[in-house]
Amino acid sequence: MISFIQKIKSSGDDRQLKKYRKLTEQINLLEDQFEQYSDDELRNQTSVFKERVDQGEALSSIRSEAFAVVREASKRVLGMRHFDVQMIGGLALSDSNIAEMPTGEGKTLVASLPSYLHALEGKGVHVITVNEYLARRDRDLIGQVHEFLGLDVSLNIPGLEPDRKRMAYAADITYGIGSEFGFDYLRDNMVYETGQRVQRPLHFAIIDEADSVLIDEAKTPLIIAGKDGVSTDLSNLCARIVKHFEEGREFHYDLETKTTNLTEEGISSIERGFDIDNLYELEHQTLYHYVIQALRARVMFQRDVDYIIKDGKVLLVDMFTGRPMEGRSLSNGLHQAIEAKEGLEVTEENKTQASITIQNYFRRYHQLAGMTGTAKTEQKELRDIYNLGVVQVPTNQPIARTDKADRIYETIEQKYKAAADRVEELHNEGRPILIGTTSIIQSELVSGELKKRGLSHEILNAKSLEQEVRLISLAGQKNAITVATNMAGRGTDIVLGEGVRELGGLYVIGTERHESRRIDNQLKGRSGRQGDPGTSEFFISLDDEMYRRFAPEEREKLKKNISSDKNGEVKSKKAREFVDRVQRICEGSNFSIREYNLKLDDVLGIQRATIYDLRDKLLERDAVHPILKNIISSHTTEEVRLRCPEDEPDETWDLDKMKENLTLIVPTGDFSFINEDTPLKRIKESVKEQTDSYVVLVDEHLQQEQFSEQLRRFLLSRTDHYWLRHIDAMDRLKEGVGLRSYSQEDPMRQYQREGLELFSMMHYQLEQDVSRQTAQLIHKIETTKKNGVKLK
């Protein structure tokens, strides 16, 4: 029975679709009218729409006409007419939703509608895809329609010179990869001049394969790193030491959370090996860091699963796409620990200079929308984090794909044999087969099984990325067998070859349940596009990693209480329930990780916003006056508060240190009168009076452009210096809080409290540095004046 809540949700979806169908009917009524327009008249509609927007008319009142104009332009330029369901998808996107549309429904053409509509505002539209190939392809295709209508369309890819990036962002519509937009945002907050920025304020973005970008990639933050010295000897030594560690003796490893820590025996081994008394003492913090990273590299990262070795370098593998992540590396010495583990040359360590999570970057857009074939299962997360609804858009043709029940086996060997039997049977019929795997190792195992049977096939994974699009596009041809890591080739349609429909279409075989039903559905969706026939079938084993990782005890108990046939196949209802339940547990665990990372970044995000706001102001030359005066006044007040705390006895006050520091901040002041008998009120009043008097002198000097610019650049430089140190301190705090998770206090509360203390200390040090440097500069100028020397 459908629950009451499900009925409410269903009726809400129906109401939304009903609204969009009515609007689509309105758009259809305009089709005859715009068909009569000449090319110039149709193109001129863009100017008409822009003028209406400038005069204050809402986009919603222009939407039907704008969509009808794009449809007509597409017919003329591409020979492609938007179906009604594509209009519904476009309407959903323009209302800040995720449009869920299966593979082959023409999502690329759907995006042409809201991107045109929102470009009329003149604030920039970003169309974001998962890789450069798709960004370039979509820009070249849909860009023709928008350029025909008089809009500027550009491509933003890694490696562009700043001037070219600036031009790309100045266009009405900019295509590109999500991570590059995020990196540009971080780089823009590291510049020293306003004119060096490339991005405009983030306005409207449409994300293709939205679930991949907003959910799958959300566990990995965007990090800009600079090179920092690393001890190659220490990396190699730690790698050799932990190589001989045994789980349960020197370390513990939690398979579910993928965390590792040293036991008492492990700590003692390190202390004996390095001849130290206490590994946890502050002076051994660096050694401890190297040891932990070496242990993580050994236990948590598996070659040809998490990374590959290519040309003597470690290339990380995207666990959701199977693609190598060129130019990406792990931070805080973990990448170097993997290099040491593999016996490779240890490169310089990447030191974080700026970072932001995917969630917090995309939440900065004024309006967001997305498209994907699978989003409904994650609609709560999309709503809670991004404030995005999910609209399931009807298919243009009924889905004719058959999704068979999972085949469950006791062992991995039995699973692969059964899958290969199925492939051989289908291949003899001439039917094309796509075999989806979750890792490079799995791809190689499947390939080996097929080779034993003499079955010719193509293998597509992170090691053969260049062939990805070509191989995927040919996967629907008669007799084709394609083995693909995860969602390789996503965004490329698999078109059925001649005679394949009659054979039943593309047959998709999954060799393992993914960590999310959504990703399983993505694999299934490669078959049965646009009403084509097709079949999907998963072959899984109770020895698969997900069941060993998330339910090891229940799995062992289940294996003892079930029976299988001669081929090892398990047909028990309990086994099916177990498989479904563990996948849901896995989904919940991954959501918790993303939620935890977001909460951590939210703490840093508040601090990041404070620093970036300060930097924004400092990019404007006139802003240095009020900022500097505020810093000096604030810091003298803080110095009095710090050295003369009101809630502590007078005899504990550090008056000598306060006078020393105040003299360095306010060199024109005289604080010698302060002693043990001076009332606090008198101290505060005098410090304020003398600070205010000094600030007048500072203001006089700030009228000189050379002095003002020198201080502005110094302020930016020191802000960056202390912020980078703070990021590093927060990284270490995050690591330390994780290790203290067994204490009574909630780790998140610890991180928030101690993070605030670190930020307050950073802010104090920044103000102190800037105040003292200003005083030194003014002293130098005043001394030069007295000596009659002209300052250069």
pLDDT in tens, 599-625: 888 899 899 999 999 999 999 888 888
pLDDT one-digit tens code per residue, 245-265? 998 888 888 665 566 778 878
- Distance separating alpha carbons of residues 24 and 51, to the nearest angstrom: 24
Burial grade of 52 (CB within 10 A; 0-12, 13-18, 19 or more): middle
- Which of 184, 149, 186 is CA-nearest to residue 170? 184
How does the average pLDDT of the chain come out, rounded?
A: 87
DSSP state of 405: P
Instruction: Grade residue 155 by pLDDT with cuts at 50, 70 and 90.
Output: very high
**Do the annotations mark residue 107 as ligand-binding?**
yes
493 marked ligand binding residue: yes
Residue 730 and residue 15: Cα distance in Å, rounded? 47
SS3 per residue for 644-696: CCCCCCHHHCCHHHHHHHHHHHCCCCCCCCCCCCCCHHHHHHHHHHHHHHHHH
pLDDT higher than threshold 80 for residue 792: no
pLDDT in tens, 157-205: 998 999 999 999 999 999 999 999 999 999 999 998 999 999 999 999 9
pLDDT at res. 321 = 63
Q: Could you tell me if 329 and 297 are in contact, meaning their C-beta atoms sit under 8 angstroms apart? A: no
pLDDT at 4: 36
- End-to-end Cα separation, the chain, in angstroms: 84
Q: In whole angstroms, give the CA distance from residue 170 to residue 550.
A: 48
> Judging by DSSP bridges, how do beta strands 433-437 and 204-208 pair with one another?
unpaired
Written as one letter, the residue type at 259 is T
Q: Tell me, what DSSP letter sits at residue 303?
A: B
Chain centre distance of CA 227: 22
Phi, psi of 531 (to 5 degrees): 80, 0
Any residues with CB less than 8 A from the CB of 510 and at least 6 apart, and which? Answer: 436, 520, 523, 524, 536, 537, 538, 539, 540
Across 63-72, 539-548, 615-624, least confident range: 615-624
Q: 538 — phi, psi (to 5°)? A: -105, 135
**What whole-number distance in Å separates Cα of residue 391 and Cα of residue 383?**
12
Q: Is the confidence at residue 430, as pLDDT, over 50?
A: yes
- 753-755-761-762 Cα dihedral, nearest 10 degrees: -160
The C-alpha atoms of residue 68 and residue 91 are separated, in whole angstroms, by: 12
How confident is the model over 263-296, as pLDDT tens digits?
A: 878 888 888 888 887 776 656 767 887 888 899 8
Encode burial over 601-623: b for 16+ CB neighbours within 10 A, e otherwise.
bebbbebbeebbebbeebbeeee
Quick one: tokens of 602?
């939210």
Weakest mean pLDDT among 219-233, 531-545, 690-704: 219-233
Distances (CA, A) of 347 to 228, 298, 350, 369: 10, 18, 9, 40
pLDDT at 533: 94
CB 154 within 8 A of CB 165: no
Q: What is the CATH number of domain 620-786?
A: 1.10.3060.10
Question: Confidence band (pLDDT; 50, 70, 90) for 537?
Answer: very high
CA gap 203, 208 in Å, rounded: 17
pLDDT at 5: 37
Helix 747-786 vs helix 655-665: crossing angle, to nearest 10: 60
- The predicted pLDDT at position 2 comes to 41
Least reliable range by pLDDT among 63-72, 79-88, 95-104, 646-655 = 646-655
Nearest to 103 by CA among 687, 471, 526, 518: 526
Average pLDDT for residues 502-507, to the nearest whole number?
Answer: 95
- Give the pLDDT mean for 517-523: 87
Report the alpha-carbon distance of residue 188 to residue 193 in Å, rounded: 10
Pair of tokens at residue 112: 């042409």
Fold match flag (4-220+360-392 vs 400-584): yes
Q: What is the pLDDT of residue 248?
A: 86
- Assess whether pLDDT exceeds 80 at residue 219: no
- Residue among 531, 729, 656 nearest 104 (CA): 531
What is the fold of 230-347? Pre-protein croslinking domain of SecA (3.90.1440)
**CA-CA-CA-CA torsion sign (603, 609, 353, 305):** positive
| Gyration radius of the chain over CA positions | 31
> 30: burial class by Cβ within 10 Å (0-12, 13-18, 19+)?
middle
Cα separation, 79 vs 495, whole angstroms? 19
Are the C-beta atoms of residues 489 and 471 closer than 8 Å to each other? yes
**638: which strand partners?**
none
Using the predicted structure, report yes or no on whether residue 690 has a pLDDT greater than 80. Answer: yes
Helix or strand (DSSP H, E) at 72: helix 59-77
DSSP bridge pairs for 153: 173
pLDDT of residue 490: 64
* Predicted pLDDT of residue 625: 87
Structure confidence by residue, pLDDT tens digits, 359-402: 889 999 999 999 998 888 888 889 988 999 999 999 888 888 99
Cβ-contact 438, 486 below 8 angstroms: yes
Model confidence, pTM? 0.77
Residue 181 to residue 233: CA distance in whole angstroms: 37
CA distance 693 to 354: 38
Best CA proximity match to 608, nearest among 360, 431, 400? 360
Range of weakest confidence among 32-41, 250-259, 637-646, 745-754: 250-259
Dist. CA 49–CA 55, nearest whole Å: 10
**Higher per-residue confidence, 480 vs 221:** 480
Q: Over range 310-339, report the average pLDDT.
A: 80
Task: Let me know how many helices (H) and strands (E) the chain has, helices first.
Answer: 29, 21
pLDDT at position 153 is 98
Q: What span, in angstroms and rounded, lies between the C-alpha atoms of 539 and 510?
A: 6
pLDDT of residue 3: 44
Find tokens 């039917």 and name the residue. 431
Among 662, 667, 703, 701, CA closest to 684: 662
Class of domain 4-220+360-392: alpha beta
pLDDT band at 8 (very low <50, low <70, confident <90, very high): very low
Give the start-to-end residue ranges of the domains of the chain.
4-220+360-392, 230-347, 400-584, 620-786
What Cα–Cα distance (Å) separates residue 357 from each residue in 221, 592, 602? 4, 15, 9
Q: What is the pLDDT of residue 256?
A: 59
State the DSSP string of 480-539.
Answer: -EEEEETTTTTTS-----TTHHHHTSEEEEESS--SSHHHHHHHHTTSSGGG-EEEEEEE
CATH placement of domain 400-584: 3.40.50.300
3-state SS class at 326? coil
pLDDT number for residue 331: 72
Mean pLDDT of 341-363: 85
Region of poorest pLDDT, from 350-364, 487-501, 736-750? 736-750
Predicted confidence (pLDDT) at residue 736 exceeds the cutoff of 90: no
Position 461 confidence tier, pLDDT thresholds 50, 70, 90: low
Residue 247 is given by DSSP the state: B
Place of tokens 């070249």: 140
| Residue partners of 502: CB distance under 8 A and separation at least 6 | none
Looking at residue 81, what is its pLDDT? 96
515 to 260, 446, 673: CA distances (angstroms):
21, 20, 70
